[in-house]
Amino acid sequence: MTASTIRTVLFDLDGTLADTAPDLAYALNRVREEKSLPDLPFDSIRPVVSHGGMALIKHGFDMEAEHPEFNHLYRRLLDIYRENICRKTCLFPGMDELLDTIEDRGLNWGVVTNKPAWLTEPLLDALNLIERATTIVSGDTLEQRKPHPAPMHLACEQAGSQAEQCLYIGDAERDIQAGRNAHMHTLIALFGYIGKNDKPQDWKADGSVKTPLEVLEWII
């Protein structure tokens, strides 16, 4: 990959573009509080965030999706999260400058996430990013979700780029799989929600970055 080949930079949302873990942890602990359970430590919740709300319920209540209470707890989690969607969420340090530089260089950027649109769009709006993103593909935009390549291909189409002109950045293995399945270039966001049992070195990405600003080395 050379810098000149990249026209579009695409981001996963949770754990890559924005640090959403504080608000998702808050929501999970409020659900636990409603069940007279104590708060879980933030450090135990943070690595789970990239895997979505169902994974949070499994983690927070030690139950599988087949449990009769699971769907109720999951819906309650999302309701509380929606009410507190940008309570403490912010962009990762350096992300503002990265987005500014992408735009200043005449490139464009967007988001491909498995988060549903009714959560994705209010969050990006609260972060003042919804008008800046060239494309926003949420988890329910199509029938398929990451790691399926269809959401990635839609983002390419909306951004006006070919897959080989896109760089996808994420912090979960499914992100890298999605990018590779779509024949994009891929980077691992090591600053995101990497769990202690994750093995990003085995994900076959083109590279990894420890900070958002390191992405610039791959596009400029």
Catalytic residue IDs:
12
Residues 6+ apart with CB under 8 A from 192: 12, 15, 16, 50, 92, 170, 171, 172
Which residues are 207's β-sheet partners?
Answer: 187
Strands of the 8-11 sheet, one edge to the other: 135-137, 108-112, 8-11, 166-170, 185-189, 207-209
d(CA 169, CA 16): 7
Give the Cα-Cα-Cα angle 9, 12, 18 (nearest 5 degrees): 100
Tokens of 110: 């967007």
Residue 131 tokens, joined:
């008008």
| Strand boundaries in 119-211, DSSP class E | 135-137, 166-170, 185-189, 207-209
CA-to-CA distance for 90 and 67, rounded, in angstroms? 34
